[in-house]
Amino acid sequence: MSDAVLKRDEIESKYKWAIEDIYESDELFLEDCNKLEKLSKEIEELEGTFGKGSEYLLKVFEKKEEINRVAEKVVMYANMKFHEDTSVSKYQGYAGKAQAVCAMADNSMSFIEPEILEMEESIIYGYLEENSKLKKYETYIKRLYDEKSHMLSKSEEAIIAKTMEISSAASDIYDVFSYSDIKFSDIHDENGEPVSLTTGRYGNFLKSSNRNVRKEAFISMYSEYKKYINTFAAMFLGNCKRAKFYADIRKYNNSLEYSLLSKRIPIAVYDNIIDVVNENIDKLHRYVSLRKKALGLDELHMYDIYVPMVEDIDKRIDFEEAKEMVLKGLAPMGEEYIENLKQGFNNRWIDVYENSGKRSGAYSWGPNGVHPYVLLNYQGQLSDVFTIAHEMGHALHSFYSDKTQDYIYAEYQIFVAEVASTCNEALLINYLLENCTDRKEKLYLINYFLECFKGTIYRQTMFAEFEKIVHEKIDGDEIVNVDDLNEIYLNLNKKYYGGDIISDDEISFEWARIPHFYNEFYVYQYATGFSAAIALSKRIMEMGDEGVRDYMKFLTGGSSKDPIELLKDAGVDMSSKEPARKALQLFGELLDEYEKIIAEDSI
């Protein structure tokens, strides 16, 4: 790995996403910002017209869709340009401008749902019968009436809409502070040479076979977070209080109810994953013990938890090779899926490499009517290959939903967002295991799959339990300070990982570097999504075309049905504990297989 992080303009264009597919120039973005302001004024003039007839309701719905389509493009373009290099003040400004005009648009449309709810249901449903163009909104209308008890008056909804622009302040500050302002001390690589530590590189340093590299990266990272831990606590707790505010305003009992029930997810789903993981916590302890033994360490530390347990395996994978691996791994999905995947690979849907100032991590995003985009920070590790499969799972989920559903139902709900992505990962790991003939490489792949379980079910559920504890305290008007956050997190880390690992003091600050905490009660869906994906991938591999057909019902479903029902159509019931239990049963079987191979080697 080179010491220097490349600048944006030093990366070949074929490895950058085609942002020009949204807008060919910044000027067109600015034009749409102005257009959004104009459309916002136009829809405001339609307030109070619903009683005049069905054509006025249709006019509002069509204008709302036009506004939302423009708003999607504006906000995504601005933020994606910002994420390319968060140090560029121009695009920081564009992101702020997009947020402002979208908040204005939201405010201009705030009368719609309260005005519908003020009318007799018989009148609205009568409109749907008499005007065939309104028929497609029937599911939306039904869901709206189901949520009537949580809606406010028109004037109150207008006030709530005006709060949107400022409500994301904690998250916005976190992004800028974490990705632009914090600088980490240089560390030394495997050759003892100074090398820059970035959030994008941190994960790879923790996988280094050189323990000094891992330890130095770990200490450097958390030493910096410790310096600013009070600032991070203020941001995080401010965001928790924001969630409480909206839960109270919307007449939910707490923040968890607001986050889940408003998305039509039963609370039991959240509790189930925490319960099942805690029932199977012994398997994670067993994994930690196996790791300690495999690494031959007297003391296992938190900076030892990511390095592969197999020695002398250094999988450096070129990006072009990685794409071929993904294509072969996802072949069970059929020719059509593969052709659409190639379309994404060949038409610059992906922003591949890390550059100076680029947002860390990975995601998929993109406006309806264009195509999905994927942000990566590709480093050439096996985990990066799985990230490609994962994010392209998101992208093709969006692609199929946008292609199949009316705009109003095209966006799938967050609960199912991680299913398609993780199903891709499960198919890929099964392909690699089936085609592996080298003993060490097979151990390496099993280790990787074990890591998926550890990182996606166990770790994300630990995050979910942390969130639940903290939000319950905030919802209960308890005073929570930075020491409380550190203590809660450290105690959970000890419970989850057990006594065969030292929960270093630095790990108590880890909560401060988890960006998903600013989208509260999101992370549990990685665990539930992983559980569903294991079940779905098994159906696809065992049932072939029939399994794919069932899965495509889900993949094309958007939000046309509630998330639990969509997954039932695909063959998985996430309202029960069984998918999570079966997934963790597989985790135990993988531990057995790993130990069996190790035992055979010692004979």
Query: Rounded to the nearest 10 degrees, how much is the dihedral formed by the CA atoms of 267, 268, 273, 276?
Result: 160
Of 193, 227, 261, which closes a domain? 227
pLDDT score of 322: 97
Q: In sequence order, which residues have a C-beta less than 8 Å from that of residue 320 and are 6 or more positions away? A: none
Q: What is the CATH number of the domain that holds 215?
A: 1.10.287.830
Cβ(11)–Cβ(355) below 8 Å: yes
In a shared domain, residues 398 and 285: yes
Write out the catalytic residue numbers: 391
- CA distance linking residue 286 with residue 458, whole number of Å: 13
In a shared domain, residues 443 and 542: yes
Q: Are strands 194-195 and 187-188 parallel, antiparallel or unpaired?
A: antiparallel
- CA distance linking residue 35 with residue 101, whole number of Å: 10
In a shared domain, residues 162 and 103: yes
- Domain-located, residue 373: no
Q: What is the CATH number of the domain that holds 19?
A: 1.20.140.70
Convert the pLDDT of each residue in 390-438 to its tens digit: 999 999 999 999 999 999 999 999 889 889 998 999 999 999 999 998 8
User: Mean pLDDT throughout 476-500?
Assistant: 97
- Domain-located, residue 274: yes
Of 181, 208, 227, which closes a domain? 227
In a shared domain, residues 131 and 198: no
Convert the pLDDT of each residue in 194-211 to its tens digit: 999 988 889 889 989 999
Helix, strand or coil for residue 350? strand
- CA distance linking residue 69 with residue 66, whole number of Å: 5
In a shared domain, residues 162 and 177: no
pLDDT score of 546: 96
In a shared domain, residues 308 and 327: yes
Cβ(421)–Cβ(390) below 8 Å: yes
Convert the pLDDT of each residue in 300-316 to its tens digit: 999 999 998 886 566 78
Q: What is the CATH number of the domain that holds 244?
A: 1.10.1370.20
What band does 1 get if pLDDT is binned at 50, 70 and 90?
Answer: very low
Residue 313 carries which DSSP code? -
In the numeric block, the tokens 């319960």 are attached to 275
In a shared domain, residues 551 and 505: yes
The secondary structure of 86-113, three-state, reads CCCHHHHHHHHHHHHHHHHHHHHCCCHH
If one counts the domains in the chain, the total is: 3
- Does 513 have pLDDT greater than 80? yes
What band does 3 get if pLDDT is binned at 50, 70 and 90?
Answer: low
- Domain-located, residue 84: yes
Q: In sequence order, which residues have a C-beta less than 8 Å from that of residue 293 and are 6 or more positions away? A: none
- CA distance linking residue 493 with residue 502, whole number of Å: 10
- CA distance linking residue 375 with residue 207, whole number of Å: 22
* 0.85 exceeded by pTM: no
- Domain-located, residue 23: yes
Phi, psi of 351 (to 5 degrees): -100, 110
Strand partners, 525: none
Q: Are strands 350-351 and 373-375 parallel, antiparallel or unpaired?
A: parallel
- CA distance linking residue 83 with residue 179, whole number of Å: 9
Residue 186 carries which DSSP code? P
- Domain-located, residue 2: no
Residue 85 sits in which domain range? Answer: 8-167
In a shared domain, residues 183 and 52: no
Distances (CA, A) of 73 to 27, 93, 299, 497, 564: 13, 16, 51, 43, 29
In a shared domain, residues 479 and 576: yes
pLDDT score of 349: 98
- Cα-Cα-Cα-Cα dihedral sign, residues 284, 329, 423, 518: positive
In a shared domain, residues 273 and 220: no
DSSP assignments along 127-173, one per residue: HHHH-GGGGGGHHHHHHHHHTGGG---HHHHHHHHHHHHHHTHHHHH
